[in-house]
Amino acid sequence: MPRSFVAALVLLLVCAAPAGAADPRRGEQWNLDLVEAGGARPVSNGAGAIVAVIDSGVQADHPDLAGRIGPGYDVVQRDSSPQDGDGHGTHVMGIIGAATGNGVGVESVAPGATLMPVRVLGDDGGGSIDEVARGVDWAREHGADVINLSLGSEVPLVGAGGGDSFDAAIRRAIAAGVVVVAAAGNNGLPVCEQPAAGDGLLCVGAVDKRRSRSFFSSFGSGLGLVAPGGSGATATGVSVGEDVLSTYTGSRYEELAGTSQAAPHVAGVAALLVSRGMRGQAAVRRLLATAVDLGPPGVDAQYGAGLVNARAAVAGLGGAVLPGGPGGSGGPGVAPVRVFVRVKRGRGIRVRVRALHSGRVRVRVVRRGRLVARGSRLVRAGRASTVVARLNRRGRRLARPFRARVRVRLPGDARWRVRRVSVR
């Protein structure tokens, strides 16, 4: 990925600012203007959505990211502290969800979303395909709504035979209803440089501030759409305002260019849709349908469906939003419930849920109007949790398989969510 580094060290003095204060470097973010991020803000800020960034980790105490980061995982060190020693992951995260209106630094596409850092790259920016696959699986298993993969030719992934595991992990995420967004790659090839491209994965190419395809961006087969990635133009190694400004390690801000920067714009807009209740492939279709057409009329090899547009994507989605979320209060309504049901050795029905508020989750399983299992559990906000509904005497007497209704009520949710399932 083309990178621009400021030659002199700039010391940033960060002062407390009142809520809603202007972010001083917003004027440098041509990229947000290009995708009309501000036009989407009255409808959605991404509150309640969880966006996993599979990358080099994050500087969690960066002034524009502090309080924005949810639980994450370090696949490299195998611990829960995915500290960024490279800068790439921190830059990507700032594009998606840097604090907005805090009087510090920059703005972002989805400032209400929760960011989930999953570190799969070392401090040298390299990693293995198998570790990336494990990172994708971890994000899926821990409640990610959107997964961003800014991993292209600039990230040296090694590991013989690992491509199959990577591809399989992406397919598992897509099957689970996760929006998977990936960078097209920076070799200028006529093909998206990602596994599973065109099969549910949303492959993103890059354009510069003039809406022209960035010279380095791959295109053609498998390309879904494009987003701001910069031009990579520099003057004596210093950026000249052509690239994408975002958060960086050392509590700094840097301009970088690449399809790695394009992908998180799309991931951020996907989070805006998730916040309005649109998930998985429905969200992917919406992103493609509302993109601004570039190049020849219709879908084309250079730009795919066109330039992602935040305002158009959320236009008309005035229904209930997900409540809460760092950096945004959200609005009225209830959270969608993910219910994965399994019988555990005949003793109970395992229900996998994610709650947006801490408290008690209650589960009831009903067959033909009669209760056959129930259970409850205290859960933490934003964490994927398993609640076991224990079979009662009536439930234990039932022959398998049988059809039933699983009713789930989350903390802060006034109504029961219902799923029809087959218990085997």
Whether the predicted pLDDT of 230 surpasses 50? yes
70-74, 166-170, 377-381, 410-414: range with lowest mean pLDDT:
410-414
**Active-site choice (23, 44, 88, 153):** 88
pTM of structure = 0.74
Residue 251 near residue 106, CB atoms below 8 Å = no
Whether the predicted pLDDT of 155 surpasses 60? no
- Tell me the average pLDDT across 264-268: 98
Residue 19: CB atoms within 10 Å = 7
192-196, 207-211, 339-343: range with lowest mean pLDDT:
339-343
Whether the predicted pLDDT of 398 surpasses 60? yes
- Tell me the average pLDDT across 366-394: 85
**Active-site choice (4, 23, 55, 153):** 55
CATH class of 340-423: mainly beta
Share of the chain above pLDDT 90, in %: 58
| pLDDT value for 108 | 98
Domain ranges, ordered by start, for the chain: 26-314, 340-423
**Active-site choice (150, 165, 246, 260):** 260
Model pLDDT for residues 307-323, shown as the tens digit of each residue: 999 999 999 886 444 44
Confidence label for 346 from pLDDT (cuts 50, 70 and 90): low
| pLDDT value for 341 | 59
- The whole-angstrom separation of Cα 268 and Cα 273 is 9
| pLDDT value for 189 | 92
- Tell me the average pLDDT across 2-26: 46
9-13, 205-209, 293-297, 319-323: range with lowest mean pLDDT:
9-13
The answer to whether residue 61 is catalytic is: no
Task: Kindly give, in sequence order, each residue whose CB lies less than 8 Å from that of residue 299, ignoring residues fewer than 6 positions away.
Answer: 305
Whether the predicted pLDDT of 361 surpasses 50? yes
φ and ψ of 268, to 5 deg: -65, -40
71-80, 186-195, 264-273, 396-405: range with lowest mean pLDDT:
396-405
Tallying the residues shown for the chain, one arrives at: 424
| pLDDT value for 403 | 84
Region of 154 please: left (phi>0), alpha (psi -120 to 50) or beta. Answer: alpha
**DSSP codes, 59-124:** -TT-TTTTTTB---EETTTTBS--B-SSSHHHHHHHHHH---SBSSS---S-TTSEEEEEE-S-TT
- The whole-angstrom separation of Cα 127 and Cα 55 is 9
Whether the predicted pLDDT of 165 surpasses 90? no
Q: Which residues share a beta bridge with 406?
A: 365, 419
CATH number of the 26-314 domain: 3.40.50.200
Q: Among residues 127, 124, 132, which one has the least CA distance to residue 164?
A: 132
- Tell me the average pLDDT across 272-284: 93
- Tell me the average pLDDT across 71-90: 95
Residue 292 near residue 132, CB atoms below 8 Å = no
The answer to whether residue 265 is catalytic is: no
Task: Kindly give, in sequence order, each residue whose CB lies less than 8 Å from that of residue 164, ignoring residues fewer than 6 positions away.
Answer: none
36-45, 145-154, 283-292, 363-372: range with lowest mean pLDDT:
145-154
Whether the predicted pLDDT of 267 surpasses 90? yes
Whether the predicted pLDDT of 342 surpasses 80? no
Residue 87 near residue 56, CB atoms below 8 Å = yes
- The whole-angstrom separation of Cα 334 and Cα 214 is 41
Q: Catalogue the E-assigned strands of 178-309.
A: 179-183, 202-207, 225-228, 234-235, 238-239, 244-248, 252-256
Beta strands 127-128 and 73-74 are: unpaired
Model pLDDT for residues 202-214, shown as the tens digit of each residue: 999 999 999 999 9
Question: What is the pLDDT of the chain when averaged over all its residues?
Answer: 84
DSSP state of 21: B
| pLDDT value for 14 | 29
The answer to whether residue 199 is catalytic is: no
